[in-house]
Amino acid sequence: MSDSNNEFDTKWDAFETSCRDCHKCDLRAGANNVVIYRGSRTAPLMIVGEAPGRNEDLEGKPFVGQSGELLQNLLGSYGIKESDYHICNIVKCRPPENRRPTPAEIKACKPLFARQFIMAAPKVILLCGSTAYEGFFGVKPVMKDVRGFFVEKKGYYIMTTYHPAYALRNPANKIPIYEDMGKVKEKLVELGCLE
Ligand code: URA
């Protein structure tokens, strides 16, 4: 392994330790695991969800339950590989009873999210659901008004889509998420980010 890889991994390991040691809100005390990411440490695509659920808390990885299965099928259907994505959440510890994280919890987690964002160095960001949008942009969205198109900000291309759990409630809701993932794939190709 080269020195620069060593430096990179050391930085990531230190970051993960900071996440596990964080007690800025009460969620850490009730969590089995701090859920940081799955996929590649750096990747052209960052996918951001809300917060870990029960399965994620137990496994220590984001999107490993039913929503994750749906997300994984979508990625697979567009040939987006593990080396292409970094999947995470706006909040790293599971809220009790799977409730939405509060604004204070989102705020407490934000500095770690910001650090992760810089290190993952994505070009395209897919925000899944209103909590991810609110955490990222700092304002509550009306989902039907903000989904399905790219916003370019500081050279990043940001797309908002519905949370996969929305499609689990009604299979017809898969269609817009599928379409949005298609636009994400097109953007990654356009930017020359995929092999
Ligand atoms: N829902 C999310 O928003 N994130 C997960 O990791 C799992 C379910």
3-state secondary structure of 138: coil
Kindly report the number of other CB atoms within 10 A of residue 79's CB atom: 9
- 19: in domain: yes
Distance in Å, CA 53 to ligand 1 centroid:
6
Closest CA to 71 of 160, 144, 146, 178: 178
Flag residues of the chain having pLDDT under 70.
1-3
- Please check whether residue 142 is in contact with residue 129, taking contact to mean a CB–CB distance below 8 angstroms: no
- pLDDT the model gives residue 2: 57
What SS3 class is residue 161? strand
**CATH number for position 165:** 3.40.470.10
The answer to whether position 102 is within a domain reads: yes
Is there an atom of ligand 1 within 6 Å of 101 CB? no
Task: State the pLDDT at residue 17.
Answer: 98
- Whether 13 maps to a domain, the answer reads yes
Query: Sign of torsion, CA 112 63 56 96?
Result: positive
Shortest-distance Cα residue to atom 7 of ligand 1 = 63
What does the alpha-carbon distance between residue 34 and residue 48 come to, in Å, rounded to a whole number? Answer: 15
Q: Which residues contact 35 (CB under 8 A, 6 or more apart)?
A: 52, 56, 57, 60, 61, 62, 89, 92, 93, 94
Structural domains of the chain, count: 1
Answer whether 0.75 is exceeded by the pTM. Answer: yes
Which of 163, 166, 168, 177 to probe ligand 1 with, by most ligand atoms within 8 A of CB?
163
> Is residue 44 one of the residues assigned to a domain?
yes
The domain of 85 spans 3-190
Query: What are the structure tokens assigned to 44, written together?
Result: 């052209």
pLDDT digits (tens, 9 = 90+) for 81-113: 999 999 999 999 999 999 999 999 999 999 999
Tell whether ligand 1 has an atom less than 6 A from the beta carbon of residue 57: no
- The answer to the question of residue 195 being in a domain is no
Per the domain annotation, does 179 fall within a domain?
A: yes
User: Probe ligand 1: pick from 50, 59, 86, max atoms within 8 Å of CB?
Assistant: 50
Is the CB of 67 within 6 Å of ligand 1? yes
Expressed in percent and rounded to 5, the helix, strand and coil fractions of the chain are 55, 15, 35
Residue 178 lies in a domain: yes
The distance from CA 78 to its chain's CA centroid, rounded to whole angstroms, is 18
Is 88 among the domain residues? yes
The verdict on the CB of residue 130 being under 6 Å from ligand 1 is no
CA distances from 119 to 46, 91, 108, 140 (A): 11, 17, 19, 26
State the distance from the centre of ligand 1 to the C-alpha of 164, rounded, in angstroms: 9
At residue 195, the pLDDT reads 78
- Hey, which of 89, 97, 131, 177 would you mutate to test ligand 1's pocket, going by the most ligand atoms within 8 Å of its Cβ? 89
Residue 5, pLDDT score:
84
